[in-house]
Amino acid sequence: MRNVLTFILIVVVALGSFKSEAADKERLEFVMRFGFIRGGKATFVANDTLFDGKMTTHLKVRGRSVGIVDALYKVDDIYESWVDPATNLPLKAIRNVKEKNYRYYNETLFYHEKDSAYSQKSGWRAVDDNITDMLSVFYYFRGHELLTGLEKGDKFSVPLWHSDKIYKIDVIYLGKKDLQTRFGKINCFVLAPQVKKGKIFKKTDALTVWISNDRNKVPLLLDLDIKVGSLKCELVEYVSPEGFHLK
């Protein structure tokens, strides 16, 4: 369960950052459920802030275990990223992980003009052009209008920095579908990030992500088909930069 919760948190972190304009107190609240069991929650917040003398967007996600899962394996992870609103790329990232007795803290600075990054853990590294991190990845693609230009069946890859490693995440676009939510029926973009078949997942297309087809591009639902059943991560509250409130 710990590996599953951590994986969901990573996806929530990535998907919780869709706003392309400089955000002002945007907030998203998610709950994670395994059947009827509530196993965790994640809170995403975005605010304008100064970084190194320039205006940036500060993104922060905190993911926590709750209930019986919290009693068995306590998770309290925080991810932060400072994003340049002109490029939608990260300038700095922090990963602060607390999972039972495990602790991990690291800060990374990104120098996109040099295709380089500096990590407190591993020092200087060469990175891919337009490298993203866990919070800026979908923020970057939303800002570049990728979702609205996709055709059903299209596939794209994302260069991603996570835990001092560079990954390429493949995503397949499944088209637009209506989703019944607690907020009513909402038309959505449907994406299938490809996952690794193995201990957790039965197949590579075991994850489906639903994103609202509107100006806010809000992640509404993550549906995971894992070996021991179905796991869902659902948006339960959303506050837009303009003060629009869904609950």
User: Would you tell me how many other CB atoms lie within 10 Å of the CB of residue 9?
Assistant: 26
Q: Using alpha carbons only, how large is the chain's radius of gyration in Å?
A: 17
CA atoms within 13 A on the CB side of 20: 14
At 137 the pLDDT is 74
Sorted by where each begins, the domain ranges of the chain are: 2-246
Q: Any alpha helices (H) in the chain, and if so which ranges?
A: 2-15, 67-72, 137-143
| Annotation: CATH topology of 2-246 | YmcC-like fold (2.40.360)
pTM (predicted TM-score): 0.81
Contacts of 224 (CB under 8 A, 6+ apart): 4, 7, 8, 201, 206, 207, 230, 231, 232, 233
Which residue from 18, 40, 44 is spatially nearest to 211, judged by alpha carbons? 18
Q: 37-51, 54-68, 138-152, 163-177: lowest mean pLDDT where?
A: 138-152
Check: CB of residue 41 under 8 Å from CB of residue 64: yes
Indicate whether 166 pLDDT > 50. yes
Going by the DSSP 8-state scheme, the letter that residue 114 receives in this structure is G
Nearest residue to 79 (alpha-carbon basis) of 98, 66, 100: 98
pLDDT tens by residue, 56-88: 989 998 888 888 878 888 889 999 999 998 888
C-alpha distances in Å from residue 239, one per residue of 6, 24, 84, 179: 25, 10, 22, 20
Please write the tens of the pLDDT for every residue from 25-57.
Answer: 788 899 988 777 788 888 888 899 999 999 998
Helix runs in 58-200, H state only: 67-72, 137-143
